[in-house]
Amino acid sequence: MSVESDLRDLAVEIAREAGELARLRRAEGVHLAATKSSIADIVTDADREVEALIRARLREARPDDGFLGEESAPDDGSTGVTWVVDPIDGTVNYAYGIPSYAVSIAAVRGSVVPGEWEALAGVVYAPASGETFHAARGDGAFLGEVRLSVTTETPAGALLATGFGYDPSTHDGDLATVRRVMTMARDLRRAGSAALDLAFVAAGRLDGYFERGLKPWDLAAGALLVAEAGGQVSLIDRSSTRPLLIAGGIQVHDRLRGIVEDES
Ligand code: IPD
């Protein structure tokens, strides 16, 4: 067993326990705890409770690792490994009772700035479907026991997904990008969980995905899934406040990248 596969196994075990807690709390009824960057950007009691559970389990298993989560204060740790965690990615879906939400847990080495770390392991667990997408660096990406591969052919155009941030002032720009990207699309999805969008690219359920302004915890596990499934992930405009993530099979990734770079 490699370090990476040990980290992956731990992440899978914790993500499943955390996801079951999220599912239970959803069935009991969701309580809004607060809003964050805008009135549309919500956090529920369950987001906080699930993150606390994940953090406690990680502390028991690997007390000296760092932690970067959506809902609590970061901790650098001393081992060089940091856990990047979104307890419920797709919180708005979760609050509305739409089943597209997921627990996302990744272990990364190095800087916790996306694009500068080396992801070692990642899991995206979807409690509503019971699906576990997981990867260890160098070992491939899997859905349960089944090895995943990104799509390579898109004769009818690419099935793409995207997302929009919570700040209404950014919507016009994002819609302008969508308009340009539609020239290569078969159709476009906006399902509401970046972690699942990336897992679906890895699984060949989507040909590509792009979104501006994601946070490290939205993309850490999913980006490793795509790379380990043979795809490509880029973060462009890194110095902007809303870098653009592009993911897909190599052809789709390159076409997407060409279109958005022509924009700037
Ligand atoms: C959000 C989801 C959504 C994406 C937003 C993210 P959250 O994460 O991933 O699909 O469009 O940019 O913030 O807030 O539900 O954890």
Asked if residue 230 and residue 201 are part of one domain, the reply reads yes
Tell me the angle at which helices 45-61 and 3-28 cross, rounded to the nearest 10 degrees: 150
Please provide residue 253's backbone torsions phi and psi, each rounded to the nearest 5 degrees. -55, -45
**Residues 122-149, mean pLDDT to the nearest whole number:** 98
| CA-proximal residue: ligand 1, atom 12 (nearest) | 165
Positive or negative: CA dihedral 178, 172, 242, 127: negative
DSSP per-residue codes, 122-175: EEEEETTTTEEEEEETTS-EEETTEEP------TT-EEEEE---S-GGGHHHHH
In a domain, residue 34? The reply is yes
Q: Dump pLDDT digits (tens) for 77-101.
A: 999 999 999 999 999 999 999 999 9
Q: Do 94 and 218 belong together in one domain? A: no
Q: What is the mean pLDDT of the chain?
A: 94
pLDDT in the model for residue 32:
81
Verify that 73 and 194 share a domain, yes or no: no
Residue ranges with strand state E in the chain: 32-35, 42-44, 66-69, 81-89, 102-109, 118-126, 131-136, 141-143, 146-147, 158-162, 185-189, 208-212, 232-236, 244-248
* pLDDT tens per residue, range 38-83: 787 778 899 999 999 999 999 999 999 999 999 889 999 999 999 9
Q: What CATH number does the domain containing 90 carry? A: 3.30.540.10
Q: Which among 193, 212, 219 is the best mutation to test ligand 1's pocket, defined by most ligand atoms within 8 Å of the CB?
A: 193
> 264: pLDDT confidence band, cut at 50, 70 and 90?
low
pLDDT of the residue at 8: 98
- My answer on whether 163 and 182 are in the same domain is yes
Contact of 123 with 133, CB cutoff 8 Å: yes
Same domain, 141 and 167: no
Q: In this predicted model, which residue has the larger pLDDT, 70 or 199?
A: 199
* Whether residue 46 has its Cβ less than 6 Å from ligand 1: no
**Is 167 domain-assigned?**
yes
Pocket perturbation via mutation, ligand 1, pick of 188, 218, 235, 241 by most ligand atoms within 8 A of CB: 218
Q: Residues 108-133: what's their mean pLDDT?
A: 92
Q: Which atom of ligand 1 is nearest to the CA of 70?
A: 16
Residues 202 and 240 in one domain: yes
Give the pLDDT score at 157.
96
Q: Over 70: is that where the pLDDT of 109 sits?
A: yes
- If asked whether residues 163 and 142 sit together in one domain, one would say no
Q: Are residues 104 and 175 in the same domain?
A: no
Q: Pairing relation of β-strands 185-189 and 158-162?
A: parallel
pLDDT recorded at residue 60? 98
Domain count across the chain = 2
Residue nearest to atom 15 of ligand 1 (CA): 90
Model confidence band, residue 175 (pLDDT cutoffs 50, 70, 90): very high
Write the DSSP symbol of residue 183: G
- Judge if 11 and 137 occupy the same domain: yes
Q: Residue 153 falls within a domain, yes or no?
A: no
Domain that holds residue 242: 158-263
Domain termination residue (choose one: 147, 168, 200): 147
CATH of the domain at 163: 3.40.190.80
For the segment 160-186, the average pLDDT, to the nearest whole number, is 94
Q: Are 42 and 162 in contact (CB under 8 A)?
A: no
Integer Cα distance of 159 and 230 in angstroms: 17
Looking at the fold, whether 12 and 132 belong to one and the same domain comes out as yes
Cβ proximity of 210 and 243 under 8 Å? no
